[in-house]
Structure 1
């Protein structure tokens, strides 16, 4: 379930993967990719959220540079993905998130959920765009923790994640005392079944927390 659609952004037209629920929407979600593009994992996440009643769209940020970038979870994929996100930058990514949210606004309140690099984008969409946000293992968030959250916020971390130390997690709690922080017995990328660190139980529990969060923040009277 899902299809590619066209999305107009301030710096040009890109594609976005969109999945719609079979029932009237409870709201909508911008789904923010890892550094690997809008690949099968991200498209499957859109389907999952659509199955739970949300219109879900994942903007294909890398279309600004190259069509249909879907990278492997290997050293070459990591290197290429890091190159592309550095070229994109957070400001341009947030412009694309805002453009996606504008399209989705007709379906109700819009939240954002992001993974890895996208987890940091989701956090910044909260502080700078005032969007309710869920961040999964956003390893680049620490330099921005002085920014004030402007909407409900949830973080998910793996306690064995080498890119996000226990000290980093405590910094999130210290600087964002009103956010929800969940830590799981898992490594980085535990939500992705294409990664070596995939941890099924942690992924299921994190999804449960995420869906409860969006039920509260996007349609509290549902």
Structure 2
């Protein structure tokens, strides 16, 4: 049984009401966390990640960013589902993504952090650059960060990429590094989606190290233990 619940949030941009998975910490609270989905939607995997961060002391909200187009969308890793997921991700305007993420940030008591995977890795970068009230961000293999590379994060931000990720050539990573030379960029002996144990490129050692680095950047930027859950 899942530890969390479904809540509804209202976008600042247009008043659109959308759903999100919400789970509270199981022990003393470290802060809030906006967890941003892969292209596949708020799947069982994303809810599992949210539950895991709650066990680490974070109150987590995982917004359903595709609700304007297809409420409740969840895709498998099959080819047809993947094509549908890609289409939905490409049809989600960045300005509305930022607005919906801001609604999630505003629903959490600070400090508020953000983490995102795949499409969500780029969305987490967007949030770090445009949204208010973010203490730190961790972005996992965000291919579309290159579309937003001229924007600058307004909070401490770290990036994670797989060295053998065919969808993100090293040239794109070098572009980010050249534009943001002081930004921590971590490279792992892994492919795309290495954090997910549902994917063929899952690399447990890389996932553990990336998660540790994520928790460390959160801790260094206000994610210390509170007095209660």
TM range (shorter): over 0.9
2:170 is matched with: 166
Q: TM-score, normalising length from structure 2?
A: 0.91
2:120 is matched with: 118
What's the CA shift string for 1:116-153, capped at 9, x where partnerless?
Answer: 11111110111112532110000011122121221101
Q: CA deviation at 1:178?
A: 2.3
What's the CA shift string for 1:52-92, capped at 9, x where partnerless?
Answer: 00101100112222222110112112210111122221111
Structure that is richer in helix per residue: 1
Compared CA separation, residues 143 and 87, structure 1 to 2 (3 A) = closer
1:198 is matched with: 202
1:46 is matched with: 50
1:138 is matched with: 142
* CA distance in 2: counterparts of 1:41 and 1:28, whole angstroms: 19
Q: CA deviation at 1:167?
A: 1.8
Structure 1 window deviating more from structure 2 (198-207 vs 15-24): it is: 15-24
1:29 is matched with: 33
Q: CA deviation at 1:221?
A: 8.8
SS in 2 for 1:140: helix
Match of 1:89 among 70, 87, 93: 93
2:183 is matched with: 179
Identify unmatched segments of 5+ residues in structure 2.
none
What's the CA shift string for 1:197-220, capped at 9, x where partnerless?
Answer: 111111111101101111111336
2:186 equivalent to 1:188: no
What's the CA shift string for 1:154-195, capped at 9, x where partnerless?
Answer: 000000001111222222222112221111000000001111
Compared CA separation, residues 221 and 42, structure 1 to 2 (3 A) = closer
**Preserved CA contact (<8 Å) 1:6 1:15:** yes
Identify unmatched segments of 5+ residues in structure 1.
none
1:7 is matched with: 9
* CA distance in 2: counterparts of 1:70 and 1:34, whole angstroms: 10
SS in 1 for 2:143: coil
2:125 equivalent to 1:109: no
SS in 2 for 1:141: helix
What's the CA shift string for 1:35-61, capped at 9, x where partnerless?
Answer: 100001110110111010010110011
Q: How many residues align?
A: 220
CA-atom RMSD in angstroms: 1.5
